[in-house]
Chain A
Amino acid sequence: MKKGFVFNQSLCVNCKACSAACSLENNFTVKVRNVLTYNREAAASVPLSHLSIACNHCEIPVCMMGCPVSAYRYDSLSEAVIVDESKCFGCKYCVWNCPYDAPKYDPVKGVIGKCHFCYSRLGEGIEPACSSGCPTGALSYADLSELNPMNTTEWFPENELSPSFRFKGITKNIPLRIIPDSLFIKKINSVPEEKKIRRSDWSLILFSFFSMLSVSFIASLLLKGELRDSLLLVILLFLPGVFSVFHLSKWYRAWRAVFNFKSSPLSREIAAYLFYVIISITSVFSHAPWLLVVAVVSGLLLLLAIDGVYIYSQKDPVVYLHSGQTFITALLLISFLSGSVWPFIFIACIKILISIYLYKPSGRNIDILRHIRNALLLVAGASIISGISYPQLSVIIIFLTGEFLDRILFYFDFEPTNINNLIYKHIAEGKYETERD
């Protein structure tokens, strides 16, 4: 018998007793159960409802599968997915991967806290604190097998993860009828929180950019047959590692990061990076050409692994087709650095076409960045075609700035599915019933 949370929207009054009960029972330093409100502003034309949500202890726990340090475990007795704070190194990959916003990062402690289903209560035969604490019965803990799997409301994401969560009761959202109808008509003005680049994102941007650069550099050496020790190369190899450690609050636990090679793309990325660095250094100092080939191949694999990290979190053309992804950008860099004009033109065209294809004006300043980025590529391309066989420093700078911008844009566009955003979008797009019986 599979048990889990059952939620009845028509009973929820947003009293937050569920959330309070959770903090009274447990020692979480973050709020792991939250009550989300749909139409918080109470705009008259839009239905208003609440959703109490924590972790849904999915059958396909993407948080756990993605965790590089294997800080998560599954407790078969309670069917709970549990995170162990003492193993977490603060990479926040699970925050991206969970569509329900369940793992919460505690900036003070630098680790993730997440609902553990009150597994010790379940062990005692008592239901979880939150559902037990709900005074209206809106949130309950019950046998799920008899209830219809999901999709009683359109904005509940990713049912294919088999969350231990069901809706029950009326979920038809109809705007409240208000008399006189001239009242309370203010429009909704809150939009989904604007995507911003945070400090930890910068370290990821730099990690991926310099990985790309170093791989391309080595590959161009190989293509040009110039084998030499180079301090620049060594720096390029180590920089990404240094940058990536910056976004970890518990960097001293980083040694665990390859533990989950089997299922975590992030673990694989880290392993690939370590392998690539070791091989590259050896190849450069041993001057063995075949090792250099291995280094380049492992470097390209690293880039594929990096791209995979993001695709895993957001399976969306915006991510896997993005012109700022590292693999395709590296190909462009290689052709640029090795002076191969035709491949360069070909790849550059692809990049520009994709960015035009995926372009959706947002009305924000970020749109201008996109144009600048394309312009920079055109300038660099033009200067190559116009016959400068090995580009001058200024052209290199123009070109690299453009590619760096593209990588930044990638982070702007990368927005893993998150129930908070979905709810906002749902309102903004006006997808709700207005018919009354």
Chain B
Amino acid sequence: MDEFITACPRNCYSTCTFIVQVSGNRIKRILPFSGNRATPEGPCIKGLSYIERSSSRDRIIYPLIRKKDGTFIRIPSDEALDIISSRLGSIRNRYGSHSILWYRGSGMSGLTNEIGYSFWKAFGGTTITYGNLCWPAGLEAVRLTLGSVKHNVPWDLVNAKTIIIWGKNPAETNVHEIRFIAEARNRGAKVVLIDPVRTPSADKTDMMYSINPGTDAALALAIAKVLIDNGLIDCEFINNHVAGYESFRDSLNITPESAEEITGIPAGDIIKLAFMIGKGGPVTFLPGYGLQRHINGGQTVRSILALAVITGNIGKQGSGFNYANLQSYIFDSVKEPDSYYPDPKNDSPFRRTLSMAKLGQDMMNASDPVLKTAFIERGNPILQSPDSNKVSKAFSSMEFRVVVEQFMTDTAKIADIILPAKNMFEQSDIIGSYWSPYVQFKPKILESPGEVMPESEIYYELSKRLGLVCSENQIPEPGNQNIENWLKERIKGYSDLQLEDLRDGPVIAPGLQEIAYHDFKFETETGKIEIYSQTAYEKWNVSPVPEYVPIKRKDEENNFPLVLITPNASGRIHSQFGNLKVIAENSETPALMISPEDAERRKISDGCRIRIYNESGELFTAVRISNRIPSGAVLLHNGIWMEEGGGGNILISGRETDMGYGSAFHDNMVEIELAD
């Protein structure tokens, strides 16, 4: 049996390293790799499921073309590539290259993803999306305040004396963090969760505050007021490192009493929480991404971050605001979140005119030229974009759709041609992480089955057929050795990074600050932490200080009284993994979760089939009455395939967050009734 060290390239905090035992071109075992200090116990259940996923019989391993009757048949690769290149060429000639939408999701990270850019650039450009479905409101909020987006290494959490998990659910979406939380508790730390829902993470804490969805900023600002009024702030830190404190202080107008009205948390408990934060340092805040998927999301993150700032919990051991740690994202020429933004000069061959959050609507409205073709890789927009009915419609009205996929997803189903996608073991690549501080190498371990080609080879073949001139640097020739050479070229500038070292396990990103901002240098305009941000006002038209902006949910007549929350499920990364047997066997079957009170009011009993609906659409699924859900809210995990009932995006209208061009998933109202 051969053994390799590799890393999980999913859109996930943990980015686990693990050992793969291979024999006969099949993965036999996946074992922990203790050399990664963030994930020494090995990957989560999804990581283990690669044993099944990599050799799943459901995998698409030959190019498929759609017949008139809607079914797919296999065609030879050459033929598929010929059809694609001639269609792309003729569409470009007829309507211009901007009639092509090149859609990329977050399905697999890696440097080789850049190769697509080279291809499409040489092709003449395409229309692409701006914004992101996930986290940019918070990224922008952190960057406006701290100048960059980083935090302490994950294992520093054990030094915290107080941990505030705010809207994050590590027990399901970052299981490796639980080790550090538990160790901190062992050493005497107090751990608090703030979340509308009693998530499994709640049961790893000392206490939870159940907050009304979307009101987090009000709670944070009330806490800030209590902290300031009681002198529980770090004046020295503020004097030395914070710009605009006075404006912030003077803007605070939410008292614990008024916050009680808004958040549902008793004023007395708000004051207690403020004292815990003010007196229980060092404090680490673990904010999640859900709390910023609101139309007030950016300001919410700024409000919570302000608590870390005024109490001096930045740049020190055991403290911090762990939103995202982009210290290993060293290769990007344009850093996130800027890479998500529309091109200010609009001179790139790529036209960023479609908002991720409003994809369907923007696609339909696109004119000059109208969108005619879609080329989709690493993503499942039909399922994962808000307002998915519109998205479906927009894709269906196109002339030609190519989807590169491993499985017959809801998006693959609308393709005219499906090209089989590589999996993570079939091509070498290099990945970073947004939680741990490592750069990792992911070697080629398996030969691709059937006629699977990595995207780099798909692009190579297409560029040849289209007669595009691309250098070896832009699109390497087929063969993994060429990819590894290409990777070597990419990391050449970093003397600490050698491919041979990376083969032996994760390497700390060059220039890492274990304790982020320990030098108290902030890349803001003032060089200080900007709790007051002129840029926030100029760029996003929000108050320069953090502010609570009540969410206006659509429905005036209250026909749809329940807030729909669609977080990630523990067995899935968005819409990935749910199709595997080992995941299904070890997860609860998809169902809408509702509080006992709301269920009773609608005479719904556990396990019934129900209809969820609002003005955007309807969905049918099973219901699970759960004591973990507060009344007034319902929860449906995202990423559930349509054949399992669907994941809720049909009910979600396309709206952007207040900053960063994120998607406000959690601001939708629904009603529920028994399905007959």
Residues on A close to B: CB < 8 A? 8, 10-11, 13-17, 19-21, 23-25, 31, 41-44, 48-49, 126, 129, 132-137, 169-170, 176-180, 183-184, 186, 436
Contacts and interface: CB of A to CB of B under 8 A. Distances in A.
Interface stretch (B263-271, B334-342, B401-409): B263-271
Interface string B165-191: 000000110011011001001100000
A13 B586 contact: no
Contacts of B176: 135-136
B203 interface: yes
Contacts of B172: 13, 15
A135 B175 contact: yes
A181 to B, nearest CB: 9
Given A25-B29, A134-B41, A41 B582 contact: no
A419 B39 CA distance: 32
Leading 9 A-B pairs by shortest Cβ distance? A177-B207, A16-B586, A17-B45, A13-B171, A137-B41, A186-B627, A48-B203, A135-B44, A42-B627
Interface residues of B, number: 52
Given A132-B42, A179-B265, A186-B627, 4 more contacts: A16-B45, A133-B48, A134-B42, A178-B210
Contact of B186 (A49, A169, A176): A169
A199 B178 CA distance: 45
B48 A17 contact: yes
A183 B172 CA distance: 22
Contacts of A49: 203
B198 A178 contact: yes
A179 B45 CA distance: 32
B209 A176 contact: no
Interface of B: 16, 29-32, 39-45, 47-49, 51-52, 171-172, 175-176, 178-179, 182, 185-186, 198, 200, 202-210, 264-266, 269, 570, 582-583, 585-587, 596, 626-628, 630
Nearest to A170: B186
A180 B264 contact: yes
B176 to A, nearest CB: 6
Contacts of B582: 20, 23-24
Contacts of B586: 16-17, 19-20
A177 B206 contact: yes
Contacts of A137: 40-41, 179
Contacts of B179: 11, 136-137
Contacts of A136: 41, 175-176, 178-179, 182
A183 B16 CA distance: 36
Nearest to A121: B29
Contact of B200 (A14, A21, A132, A436): A14
A42 B627 CA distance: 6
9 contacts: A14-B171, A15-B45, A15-B171, A17-B45, A24-B52, A133-B48, A135-B175, A184-B210, A436-B206
A11 B25 CA distance: 35
Contact of A13 (B47, B178, B205, B269): B178
Given A16-B45, A179-B265, A186 B178 contact: no
A19 B581 CA distance: 13
A109 B587 CA distance: 24
A177 B49 CA distance: 35
B208 A178 contact: yes
B182 A10 contact: yes
B29 A135 contact: no
